[in-house]
């Protein structure tokens, strides 16, 4: 292409500069040349800009694809993230990919909430369908809180907490998000009519569950890599933090709990001698988002009520006058019209909950199907010297990290169930007489994703039969558990197992379902029912022989107990 200088030279050959008209022609030509040059420049810059933008997009998409490769639903992961209008500006690292994925989940969760809200106004719904929809609203609301906490934790990653604590908290939050979606849909599984409503919700709930699964997989990939790098740099295995106090616990509370002295904020007494006559009234009056331990002393008596400690009521403690004297009892059941979730006599959601010297009971009986005595979704919650008494589905360890010490759990079918990371230590777990033709199952663990850090651990416990079952236990086979969900995980270790447990140990849920994907382990148990020679031969079952493997299921490792159990004031052992 000719240069601007050449163009002027060529023009000079044909235009007479002494002529006014020629000068105008020259000026016009000059302006035209400048415009053409400018246009060429713009085109060149535009091409370069597009090439640069294309290169950036290509790099971003490659990073997203690489991050999504660790997930179970990579196509969904890639398409949802790369279709975000601001992906090129927001994604510069693996953590950015996760943060954007979580941001997209938050939007999807909000959309589901409003869909469910709209369905609640539909005419012709059965009472249980209405109850199930309200369960879903509560669960989706909790998911939103969990997702927002994940966003905050990712922003503060490797700054506010130790890497190990960040990893554990992030995995717990995302695991709970997955569980919420499953629990919502489970509420529509009792009647044939439920299936129509379930079908309308299923697409949105399943999509959020898969997106949460993808985020969890990427979180596991990132944190496991970072922990391995930190361990390599330090040249030693990272120790469990055992001197870290939770952010919510005040100095005063620490001293009180360490000394064993607990001062009540309010007193509940059925006879009117306290501040409140019902436990529910005391909970309703408790402060929200409390940064200090709020102790509700429940005097001896039988409290016939259903109690919920909602998510906004944190760090509450129920202090009874002895498990045989302080009893909270109810009788809701699935046969009576409730959902399993809503049948709980006492439901604990607010984080940091403690209970001591109380009985939680559901008296619906064996014929009324699922009837929960205690449901727990509270993170970093603990129960000491408490009884949980019912039949089917006694103790619902719904989600998050939980610890039970020196408690009694009694029931028939699936009577410890859910998808929390729960450790029962030094507890008595007793099967009771079920209905004719029924089998007893101690556990039904509900892990749906292999990356979830969840499971039921029974450690140093005593497994036996109640007095009504013992004389006839040959007629009612009793098993350690069965797989409720695909990746069910239960470990029984260092426990005394009586002959109430069938030699096979474990039972199927439905044919071959989950038998190769579950994880059922036994480690160093004793007693007439502890022999493993006759146990099931499933791919997912194993006799644990490695102390290192067993150590992974202790309170110190499985529920990060070293960072919070000390603050409960309850006894505990972190290791084997």
Q: Residue 463 corresponds to which tokens in the numbers above?
A: 């497994």
Q: How many CA atoms lie within 13 A of 448 on its CB side?
A: 21
Q: Alpha-carbon distance 388 to 415, whole Å? A: 10
Nearest to 184 by CA among 253, 114, 137: 137
Q: Any idea which residue has 């749906």 for tokens?
A: 448
Where b means 16+ CB within 10 Å and e means fewer, 436-451 reads eeeebbbbbbbbbbeb
Say if residues 500 and 469 touch (Cβ distance below 8 Å). Answer: yes
Helix ranges, 235-278 (H): 251-259
Q: Is 194 marked active-site?
A: no
Q: Any idea which residue has 């989600």 for tokens?
A: 399
In sequence order, what are the residues at sequence separation of 6 or more whose Cβ sits closer than 8 angstroms to the Cβ of residue 219? 98, 167, 170, 171, 174
Which string of DSSP letters, residue by residue, matches 218-238? HHHHHHHHHHHHHHHHHTSPP
* Angle CA 335–340–344, to nearest 5: 105
Residue tagged active-site, from 226, 342, 414, 449: 414
Residue tagged active-site, from 393, 426, 428, 449: 393
Q: Alpha-carbon distance 228 to 216, whole Å? A: 18
Tell me the backbone φ, ψ of residue 520, rounded to 5 degrees. Answer: -120, 120
Q: Is 414 marked active-site?
A: yes
Torsion of CA 531, 534, 538, 540, to 10 degrees: 0
Tell me the backbone φ, ψ of residue 305, rounded to 5 degrees. Answer: -160, 165
* Angle CA 264–280–272, to nearest 5: 65
Say if residues 332 and 306 touch (Cβ distance below 8 Å). Answer: yes
Strands 421-425 and 443-445: unpaired
Q: Alpha-carbon distance 48 to 466, whole Å? A: 79
Nearest to 151 by CA among 110, 102, 105: 102
Q: Alpha-carbon distance 168 to 152, whole Å? A: 14
Helical axes 194-234 vs 127-155, angle rounded to 10°: 20
* Angle CA 348–353–354, to nearest 5: 115
Q: Alpha-carbon distance 322 to 207, whole Å? A: 46
Q: Alpha-carbon distance 180 to 182, whole Å? A: 5
Q: To which H or E segment does residue 542 belong?
A: strand 541-543
Say if residues 440 and 461 touch (Cβ distance below 8 Å). Answer: no
Tell me the backbone φ, ψ of residue 397, rounded to 5 degrees. Answer: -85, 80
Q: Any idea which residues carry the catalytic annotation?
A: 393, 414
């Amino acid at each position: 292409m000719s240069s601007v200088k050449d163009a002027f030279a060529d023009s000079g050959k044909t235009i007479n500069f002494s002529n006014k008209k020629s000068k105008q022609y020259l000026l016009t030509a000059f302006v035209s040349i400048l415009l053409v040059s400018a246009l060429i420049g713009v085109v060149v810059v535009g091409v370069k800009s597009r090439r640069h933008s294309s290169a950036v997009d290509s790099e971003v998409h490659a990073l997203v694809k690489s991050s999504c490769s660790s997930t179970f639903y990579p196509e969904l992961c890639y398409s949802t993230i790369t279709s975000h209008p601001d992906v090129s500006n927001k994604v510069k690292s693996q953590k950015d990919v996760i943060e954007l994925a979580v941001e997209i989940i938050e939007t999807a969760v909000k959309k589901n909430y409003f869909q469910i809200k709209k369905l609640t106004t539909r005419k012709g719904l059965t009472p249980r369908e209405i109850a199930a929809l309200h369960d879903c609203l509560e669960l989706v609301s909790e998911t939103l809180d969990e997702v927002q906490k994940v966003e905050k934790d990712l922003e503060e990653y490797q700054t506010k907490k130790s890497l190990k604590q960040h990893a554990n908290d992030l995995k717990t939050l995302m695991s709970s998000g997955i569980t919420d979606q499953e629990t919502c849909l489970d509420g529509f599984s009792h009647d044939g009519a439920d299936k129509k409503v379930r079908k309308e919700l299923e697409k949105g709930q399943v999509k959020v569950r898969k997106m949460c699964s993808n985020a969890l997989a990427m979180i596991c990939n990132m944190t496991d890599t970072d922990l391995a790098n930190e361990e390599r740099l330090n040249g030693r295995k990272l120790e469990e933090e055992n001197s870290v106090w939770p952010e919510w616990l005040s100095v005063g509370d620490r001293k009180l709990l360490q000394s064993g002295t607990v001062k009540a904020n309010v007193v509940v007494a059925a006879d009117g001698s306290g501040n409140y006559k019902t436990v529910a009234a005391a909970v309703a009056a408790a402060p929200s988002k409390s940064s200090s331990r709020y102790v509700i002393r429940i005097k001896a008596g039988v409290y016939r009520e259903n109690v919920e400690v909602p998510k906004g009521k944190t760090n509450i403690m129920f202090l009874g006058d002895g498990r045989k004297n302080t009893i909270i009892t109810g009788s809701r059941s699935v046969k009576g019209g409730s959902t399993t979730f809503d049948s709980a006599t006492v439901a604990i959601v607010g984080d940091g909950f403690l209970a001591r010297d109380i009985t939680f009971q559901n008296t619906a009986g064996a014929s009324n199907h699922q009837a929960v005595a205690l449901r727990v979704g509270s993170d970093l919650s603990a129960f000491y010297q408490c009884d949980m008494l019912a039949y089917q589905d006694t103790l619902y360890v719904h989600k998050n990290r939980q610890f039970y010490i020196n408690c009694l759990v009694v029931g028939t079918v699936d009577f410890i169930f859910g998808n929390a990371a729960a450790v029962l230590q030094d507890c008595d777990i007793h099967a009771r007489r079920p209905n004719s033709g029924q089998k007893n199952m101690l556990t039904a663990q509900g892990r749906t994703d292999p990356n979830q850090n969840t499971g039921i651990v029974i450690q140093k416990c005593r497994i036996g039969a109640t007095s009504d079952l013992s004389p006839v236990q040959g007629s009612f086979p009793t098993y350690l558990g069965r797989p409720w969900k695909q990746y069910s995980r239960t470990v029984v270790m260092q426990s005394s197992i009586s002959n109430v447990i069938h030699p096979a140990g474990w039972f199927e849920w439905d044919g071959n379902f989950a038998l190769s994907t579950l994880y059922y382990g036994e480690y160093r148990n004793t007693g007439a029912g502890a022999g493993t020679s006759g146990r099931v031969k499933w791919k997912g079952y194993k006799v644990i022989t490695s102390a290192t493997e067993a150590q992974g299921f202790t309170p110190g490792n499985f529920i990060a107990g070293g960072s919070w159990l000390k603050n409960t004031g309850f006894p505990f052992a972190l290791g084997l």
